[in-house]
Chains A and B, each alone.
Chain A
Amino acid sequence: MNCAAFRREMYLREEEFEPARWKEFQRHRSSCAECSLEYRNLEKATEILARTSKAIPLPPDPAKMATAVIIELEKSMPAAGSTKVFEAFDAFVGWLGLSGVKVGIVSLLVFICASFAVEYTSGYFDIEGLENSMTTYSAVRTTGPAQILAGTDATDAVTALSKIVAGEKSFFEVSGDWVMINKNSLEKFILLYNDLQSIAPNFPPEFRAAHPELWKLLTQKKAPKDLDTIIRERKSLIRELNELIPQERKTR
Chain B
Amino acid sequence: MERATSLQTQNAAENLERCRRGDLSAFRSLVEEFQGYAFTLAFRVLCNEEEAKDVVQESFIRVWSNISRYDPAVKFTTWMYSIVIHLCYDSLRSKKRRGAAGLGDLDPSLLSSLSAGDNPERLYSNKELAAVIAALTEKLPPKQKIVFVLRDLQELSVHEVSDILHISQGSVKANLVYARKFLREQLTPFIAD
Are B152 and A66 interface neighbours, CB within 8 A?
no
State A44–B187 Cα separation when bound (angstroms). Answer: 9
Partner among B57, B64, B126, B183 whose Cβ is within 8 Å of the Cβ of A58: B126
Q: Is A19 an interface residue (CB 8 A)?
A: no
Chain B residues near A91 (CB-CB < 8 A): none
State A51–B116 Cα separation when bound (angstroms). Answer: 11
Q: Is B81 an interface residue (CB 8 A)?
A: no
Are A51 and B187 interface neighbours, CB within 8 A?
no
Within 8 A of A (CB), among B90-132: 114-115, 117, 120, 122-126, 129-130, 132
Are B68 and A144 interface neighbours, CB within 8 A?
yes
Are B132 and A52 interface neighbours, CB within 8 A?
yes
Q: A13-56 CB contact bits vs B (8 Å, 1 = yes)?
A: 00110000000000000000000000001101111111111111
State A60–B113 Cα separation when bound (angstroms). Answer: 25
Q: Is A243 an interface residue (CB 8 A)?
A: no
B interface size (C-beta, 8 A)? 57
Chain A residues near B52 (CB-CB < 8 A): 57
Q: Is B158 an interface residue (CB 8 A)?
A: yes
Q: A123-163 CB contact bits vs B (8 Å, 1 = yes)?
A: 00000000000000000001110010000000000000000
User: Closest residue to B59 on the A side, CB-wise?
Assistant: A69
* With A55-B132, A59-B36 as contacts: A65 and B153 at CB distance below 8 Å: no
Are A142 and B68 interface neighbours, CB within 8 A?
yes
Are A12 and B184 interface neighbours, CB within 8 A?
no
State A25–B68 Cα separation when bound (angstroms). Answer: 46
Q: How far is the CB of A17 from chain B (nearest CB, A)?
A: 9
Q: How far is the CB of A124 from chain B (nearest CB, A)?
A: 28
Chain B residues near A46 (CB-CB < 8 A): 180
The SS class assigned to the A binding surface is: helix
* With A51-B114, A70-B24 as contacts: A45 and B43 at CB distance below 8 Å: no
Stretch in contact with the other chain, from B4-12, B25-33, B71-79 = B25-33
Chain B residues near A16 (CB-CB < 8 A): 158, 173, 176
Are B61 and A60 interface neighbours, CB within 8 A?
no
* With A58-B126, A68-B57, A72-B57 as contacts: A52 and B177 at CB distance below 8 Å: no
User: Closest residue to B154 on the A side, CB-wise?
Assistant: A53
Are B31 and A11 interface neighbours, CB within 8 A?
no
A interface size (C-beta, 8 A)? 40
Q: How far is the CB of B31 from chain A (nearest CB, A)?
A: 4
Q: A68-95 CB contact bits vs B (8 Å, 1 = yes)?
A: 1110110010000000000000000000
Are A143 and B35 interface neighbours, CB within 8 A?
no
30 contacts between A and B (CB under 8 A): A42-B184, A45-B183, A45-B184, A45-B188, A47-B117, A48-B115, A48-B117, A48-B187, A48-B191, A51-B117, A51-B120, A52-B114, A53-B152, A55-B132, A57-B130, A58-B125, A59-B35, A59-B40, A60-B53, A62-B35, A65-B32, A65-B39, A65-B56, A66-B29, A66-B31, A69-B27, A69-B64, A73-B24, A76-B61, A143-B65
